[in-house]
Amino acid sequence: MPVTRLSTALRGGIAALALISAAGLAAAQDVADVPRNQTLVLTPWGDQPAQFANIENWNPYLTSITKQRDVMQYTINEMLFYTNLNTGELIPWQGESFEYAPDFMSATIKLRDGVTWADGTPFTSADVKFTLEALRDAPPEINGSASFNEWVASVEAPDPMTAVITFKKPAPRFVRDFLALGHENHYPILPKHVWEGQDIATFTNYDPAAGLPIGTGAYKLVSTATNQQIFDRRDDWWGVTTGFQDTPAPARIILTPVSSDEAMGQLHIANQVDGGRQLLIGTFEAARAQNPNLLSWNPEGPVWGAPDGCMYSIFFNNMVAPWNDVNIRRAINSAMDRTELADIAYEGAMPTATFAFSGYMSGTWLTPDTPLTAKLESYNVDNHSQEDVDAHMAAGGYVRDAEGFWSKDGERIEVLMRTPAFIQPLLAPVTQQLIDAGFDARQGAVDDSWLPDMQLGNFGTMLFVHCGSLSEPLETLQHYHSKWARPIGTAIPNLIAGFRYENPEMDAIIDQMDAMPASTDPDSEYMKDAVAALDIALRDMPVIHLIEEYHVVTFNGTYWTGWPGADDPYAAPYTPWEAFNLVIHNLQQTGN
Amino acid sequence: MTDAAAANRASRRKASRVDGTLVAGLALLGLIALISILGPLLSEPSLADVGAVRPRRPPSPDFWLGTDAQGRDMLTLMLNATPNTLKMGLIAGMIGVGFGTLIGLISGQFGGWIDTVISVISDSLMTVPAIAILVIIAGNVSEMTTLIMALVVASLSWMFTARTVRAQVLTVKERGYVEVARVNGEGPMEILFREVMPNVAPYILASFVGTVSAAILATIGLEALGLGAQNELTLGNTIYWAQQSSAVLRGFWWWWAPPIVIIAVIFVGLFLTSVGFDRFANPRLGRE
Amino acid sequence: MSSDLLRYILRRLVQLVLVIFVAVSVNFLIPRLLPGDPVATLIARMQTAGGNQSIDIAAISASYYEKYGLDQPILSQYLNYWGDLFRLDLGVSFANFPEKVTNMILRALPWSVGLLSAATLFSFFVGSWLGARLAWPGAGRVIRTTVPALMVLAAIPFYLLAIILVYIFAVELRWFPPAGGVETTRIMRFEIPTLLDVLHHAVLPFSAIALGNIGFWALGMRSQTVSILGEDYITFAESKGLAPRRVFFWYGIRNAFLPQITALALSLGAVVSGAILVEVIFNYPGLGTLLYTAIRGQDYYVIQGVVLVLIVSLAVMLFVVDLIYPLLDPRIRR
């Protein structure tokens, strides 16, 4: 009798739970069943909430909607050009070719014939003109509007397959940066016939009855809910009908949220997911032990992953004392044992770094005998040495106080090391190394207060991520330009330049480089400028780079093969980057 | 067996059981107190510095509980984290109970609109999930310390004490000897401290155990969410790091099991102590 | 209805309104008193999301301040806040701009309400029943050994139990999924497989909350039962020769149960607090996870919204319990 009663209560409770839960979910809109082995399941990149928000907003230009980082660029939208960051190779897609005028004041883009929007309307230069000009005129909160406004004067469409962009100033790298590189910034061309007359800041681009969102991509949205977004393959995709590409293998792409490393590891083990969020190295290795089909970029560890273009760095606030003193910055650099940091914080899965030139540069710009390599080596940045710490501190007039901490004029130097949550593993070891070198260092709170504080300059030292060069040195060096600096209390326009560095000498060099195309020729003006700028950056050390961000991007080979890797580097493996669309088109079923 | 013998045995059993619970609880708490006092003395604190030893080692003769993800000896970490966690609970408990007692005495003694205002405030605070307030505050101080945590937790854990004390004051006030004291010309303050306080004291002691327990619960919860005092070693921080490093999936039980065991011992100790106290004060509960 | 009862209800109603008023006001004030500027945070977030690009901060700031009335004096902000509340408008999420907070809460609510109400009611009734059985003379050996063990278990915070459950049942035995609400490829339809999937994912979080609570209710019920055992009406019922089961249910449980209900109402806040952590551990798509994410992201309006929903629903539940109470207790009813 008691047992019956208990189980009745149990059943009643569970049934109630299930009913209430099910009632809260948007029931999928007539979605057909697709077998697991024809479905590609991906998660968004990075730490994300356990539920999607803005599920009925598919405007790719609202900066705060992370979906554009997550899924639109490899389902609904396509790019004019893609870049294989591993080689720098340009892969034409909606576009066929482009050409700059000799003075770099305009660029002519040839479009591919036969590209159509999902509703059958041809994709033409009118769409390109509409989009670029809409972005140029868009309000400030629209993704990229400030940049398009800075560069684009006007766009002409002399014929349906030709678009001519006229610039406001020489723009030798505009097409690459805004229409081809696709590293986190996505600027898809919009269908003019849908977006014309809409307010780009409020239009949600969602109307299932009308077929929205519409793109030229091979997939269409069939269901959107907080726990899942489903995209099904379009049989009438232009790429197949024109013979440009084969039909992509996944019949369905599902995006599902996952909020922790451990949860992602579990999903991989259970074959519930095929890719997306990175894993920590330990989780990857533990998961791989249980599911041998898991793979990453490299076939062996501990550096399993691939570079993501960024460095974990110490940002100094160069506008406040004592961080405006180059001696203390150099001393802190000498206090850092980068190998130990990489080992403790990332189990050796990330390589050490000396400057924010990413691994994608190493094959072209940083081969052993280039001027840049020589300059980097001459500074011997990665050299952990207490003697050097002591020497630099002595040079700055600092002495150790009674308790052995560095101080000046009787005042102890306090180092409050701040960090955003995504670099938290570095916080404790960096702080400890500073303490070991004689600094009175403490860890700051890990929450989102770093954001406004970094913007307004309310910090001294911050562990932050310096995303720099993927394809040429200027991409990093320009962050040292004083046009990014603002007085303390005024927000800076670009977080990556949050170290608030000012140096007219540097500004002049960067301005020159801005107006000329990149060149690896050691005797070119460009290269000379690059070396001079690098020299200043390494001399002044307004920011010091510790570790290059490599993520163990994990793919599941159970149902899908053809993932990019060191042995087949046809695209960088990051889902939030545009070129991930190439991966979708390269996948094949394993037959499992 | 005669009835008398049976009754006798039953009562002996009852007596020993009452003692058993209380003794077991106090023994567990004593064990934790011993660890807290001796641990920092017996261990080499520098082994709990980041990078002091090779990270991610399993338990071995050198490192009995292995090492953590940040290169710290887990045993040293535990020995030094336990007193911090305990300290936080005790500080929060003392402040919470002290403040709660004061508020309860005032509320019960003076009545009227003061009582009404206090009741409304404490009732509304009681409906607030403490964790919600805690996280908002925790997310907005530049650096969290165990002391701030204790203060925040204390500010949200005085209500139960205040309620209990108020109720007792109201009961005591009706008793004859208080009436007598009033007639004898004692002022309200004298009555409060001379006549009322001694009668309320046992209830304050009981709610102290409860408040300490609630305080530790809240602080560990906050730490497990990653909102604790980063620069100090605590049990909750250890759990947070174990979770961040996917310790469960990786099978690194020595990252999460030791702090959980210690926390469990603390809570079970507090629980048995309070149950023991209850039985002591209310012998009827001892009947099985 | 007697005038006494009417006055009692009226007084409780006034108290409810006061509690809600105070809670709403405090909820409005706390984020505004604390340092940090939500708009600055929003813009900084845009900068990170937008990556390497420049943004006209001043222009965006001004436009958002205006859009959300943050440029108005605090008193009119406060009045607007009340006005919006009555329209169930809790503002927009800054982290997921321009999503409405109300939508986010409504989507998370069913998961939390389902999980929490099922687990709480289950442990409340089962725990109370076990506690009463333990106190009642003639309890079996199973009851006498398992119930005290459950009581000890209840002393341990239940989010720690959650970690242990994940280790045993998700990682080692692989019986249940360690995280999430449903399988990734599950198409949500009102049909049995979906339901089973939801249940399968709910088992571990449900068990963590239930295991951590049963002992608590058993303990309370045991004390209550013990204290009524000697009452005259029990002795009287027994001497009348009523069946022991009947005495147990009709005279024992019924009377000992009343204080339990008050305790349930009072403990709901604590249960919710603990459940937040359980949801975070299980990556469960409910209010707790929503709150946690919002806190980590300083998403003010979401934090406010969730906390408000929690406070108001708890206050209302307390009120309802207080109303029901006189109906259940014959001594008060009379």
pLDDT tens digits, one per residue of B188-210: 777 777 777 777 777 788 788 88
Per-residue confidence at A93, pLDDT binned at 50, 70, 90?
Answer: very high
Per-residue confidence at B12, pLDDT binned at 50, 70, 90?
Answer: very low
Residue B267, pLDDT above cutoff 80: yes
Do residues C295 and C7 make contact, with C-beta atoms less than 8 angstroms apart? no
pLDDT at A412: 94
Question: Which residue in C166, C310, C315 is closest to B248 by CB distance?
Answer: C166
pLDDT at C43: 64
b (16+ CB within 10 A) / e for A54-71: bbebbbbbbbbbbbbbbb
* C31 interface with B at CB cutoff 8 Å: yes
Helix, strand or coil for residue A154? strand
Give the model confidence (pLDDT) of C210-251 as tens digits. Answer: 998 898 888 888 888 877 777 777 777 777 777 777 777 777
Do residues A544 and A332 make contact, with C-beta atoms less than 8 angstroms apart? yes
Measured distance CA(A13)–CA(A16) in Å, rounded? 5
DSSP-derived pairing of the beta strands A414-418 and A461-467: parallel
Residue C329, pLDDT above cutoff 70: no
Please tell me whether the interface predicted TM-score (ipTM) of this complex is above 0.90.
Answer: no
**Best residue in A416, A447, A454 for a mutation probing chain B (most B CBs within 10 Å):** A447
- CA A76, A81, A85, A89 dihedral sign is positive
Contact B248 C266 (CB under 8 A): no
Do residues B64 and B43 make contact, with C-beta atoms less than 8 angstroms apart? no
Consecutive H or E run containing A332: helix A326-335
| The pair of three-digit structure tokens given for residue C138, joined into one six-digit string | 């003639």
Measured distance CA(A250)–CA(C107) in Å, rounded? 29
Per-residue confidence at A333, pLDDT binned at 50, 70, 90?
Answer: very high
Torsion region of C217: left, alpha or beta (phi above 0 gives left; psi -120 to 50 gives alpha): alpha
Which one of B79-93, C56-70, C167-181 scores highest in mean pLDDT?
B79-93
| The pair of three-digit structure tokens given for residue A192, joined into one six-digit string | 């003019």
Question: Which residue in A13, A50, A270 is closest to C118 by CB distance?
Answer: A13
Greatest alpha-carbon span in chain C = 87
Measured distance CA(A476)–CA(A113) in Å, rounded? 37
Residue C8, pLDDT above cutoff 80: no
Measured distance CA(B113)–CA(B118) in Å, rounded? 8
SS3 of B145-213: CHHHHHHHHHHCCCHHHHHHHHHHHHHHHCCHHHHHHHHCCCCHHHHHHHHHHHHHHHHHHHHHHHHHH
> Across residues B150-167, what is the average pLDDT?
84
- Cα B32 to Cα B29, B65, B83, B93, B234: the distances in Å are 5, 18, 8, 17, 14
User: ∠ CA(A15), CA(A20), CA(A22), 5° rounding?
Assistant: 95
Give yes or no for a cis peptide into C110 (omega within 30° of 0).
no
What residues are paired with A568 via a beta bridge?
A565
Q: Chains meeting C at 3+ CB pairs closer than 8 A?
A: A, B
Q: Classify residue B59 as exposed, middle or buried by CB count within 10 Å of its CB (0-12, 13-18, 19+).
A: middle
Window 36-75 of A: residues touching C by CB (8 A cutoff) are 36, 39, 41, 49-51, 53-54, 57, 62-66, 69
Question: Amino acid identity, residue A53?
Answer: A
Q: Which residue in this structure is represented by tokens 């590609």? A: A40
Closest of B16, A22, A542 to residue B8, by C-alpha: B16
Question: Which residue in A286, A429, A442 is closest to B251 by CB distance?
Answer: A286
Per-residue confidence at A12, pLDDT binned at 50, 70, 90?
Answer: very low
**Best residue in B29, B122, B124, B141 for a mutation probing chain C (most C CBs within 10 Å):** B124
Measured distance CA(C174)–CA(C157) in Å, rounded? 24
Give the model confidence (pLDDT) of C54-73 as tens digits. Answer: 555 566 666 667 766 777 78
Report the first-to-last Cα separation within chain B, whole angstroms.
20
Helix, strand or coil for residue A220? strand
Contact A17 C50 (CB under 8 A): no
DSSP-derived pairing of the beta strands A306-316 and A294-295: unpaired
DSSP-derived pairing of the beta strands A39-42 and A252-255: parallel
Residue B13, pLDDT above cutoff 50: no
Do residues C127 and C215 make contact, with C-beta atoms less than 8 angstroms apart? yes
Do residues A63 and C50 make contact, with C-beta atoms less than 8 angstroms apart? yes
> Across residues A409-424, what is the average pLDDT?
90
Do residues B63 and B44 make contact, with C-beta atoms less than 8 angstroms apart? no
Closest of B56, B47, B54 to residue B252, by C-alpha: B56
Contact B251 A429 (CB under 8 A): no
pLDDT at C38: 63
Which segment of A380-394, A442-456, B29-43, B254-268 scores lowest on mean pLDDT? A442-456
Q: Chains meeting A at 3+ CB pairs closer than 8 A?
A: B, C
Backbone angles phi, psi at B112, to 5 degrees: 65, -150
* C256 interface with A at CB cutoff 8 Å: no
In sequence order, which ranges of chain B are alpha helices (DSSP H)? Answer: 3-42, 74-110, 112-127, 130-138, 146-155, 159-173, 176-183, 188-190, 197-224, 235-244, 247-250, 253-281
Residue C262, pLDDT above cutoff 90: no
pLDDT at A312: 95
> Across residues A188-206, what is the average pLDDT?
92
pLDDT at A4: 40
Contact B143 A287 (CB under 8 A): no
| Contact residues on chain C for B129, CB-CB shorter than 8 A | 269-270, 272-273, 276, 307, 310-311, 314
- Residues C76, C78, C82, C87: what is their CA dihedral angle, to the nearest 10 degrees? 70
pTM for the full predicted model = 0.84
pLDDT at A24: 42
Contact A53 C99 (CB under 8 A): yes
Residue C334, pLDDT above cutoff 60: no
Contact C51 A467 (CB under 8 A): yes
- Cα A310 to Cα A207, A468, B150, B250: the distances in Å are 37, 6, 39, 28
Measured distance CA(B51)–CA(B35) in Å, rounded? 24
Measured distance CA(A449)–CA(C57) in Å, rounded? 17
Measured distance CA(C233)–CA(C221) in Å, rounded? 18
Consecutive H or E run containing A408: strand A406-408
Per-residue confidence at B139, pLDDT binned at 50, 70, 90?
Answer: low
Do residues A566 and A298 make contact, with C-beta atoms less than 8 angstroms apart? yes
What residues are paired with C200 via a beta bridge?
none
Count of residues in chain C: 334
Give the model confidence (pLDDT) of B14-45 as tens digits. Answer: 444 456 888 898 999 999 999 888 888 888 88
Long-range pairs for B108-114: beta carbons < 8 A, 24 or more residues apart:
B108/B165, B108/B166, B108/B167, B108/B168, B108/B169, B108/B170, B108/B173, B108/B196, B109/B169, B109/B173, B109/B188, B109/B191, B109/B192, B109/B196, B110/B188
b (16+ CB within 10 A) / e for A537-576: bbebbbbbbbbbbbbbbbbbbbbbbbbbbeeeebbbbbbb
* C118 interface with B at CB cutoff 8 Å: no
Nearest CA distance, A410 vs chain C (angstrom): 31
Contact B124 C281 (CB under 8 A): no
The string of DSSP codes covering A251-303 is SEEEE-----HHHHHHHHHTT---B-S-B-HHHHHHHHHH-TTEE-SSSSSSS
Question: Which residue in A265, A433, A444 is closest to B246 by CB distance?
Answer: A265
Measured distance CA(A321)–CA(A316) in Å, rounded? 10
Q: Which residues contact A292 (CB under 8 A, 6 or more apart)?
A: none
Measured distance CA(C188)–CA(A222) in Å, rounded? 13
Do residues A96 and A111 make contact, with C-beta atoms less than 8 angstroms apart? yes
| The pair of three-digit structure tokens given for residue C25, joined into one six-digit string | 């006001």
Per-residue confidence at C42, pLDDT binned at 50, 70, 90?
Answer: low
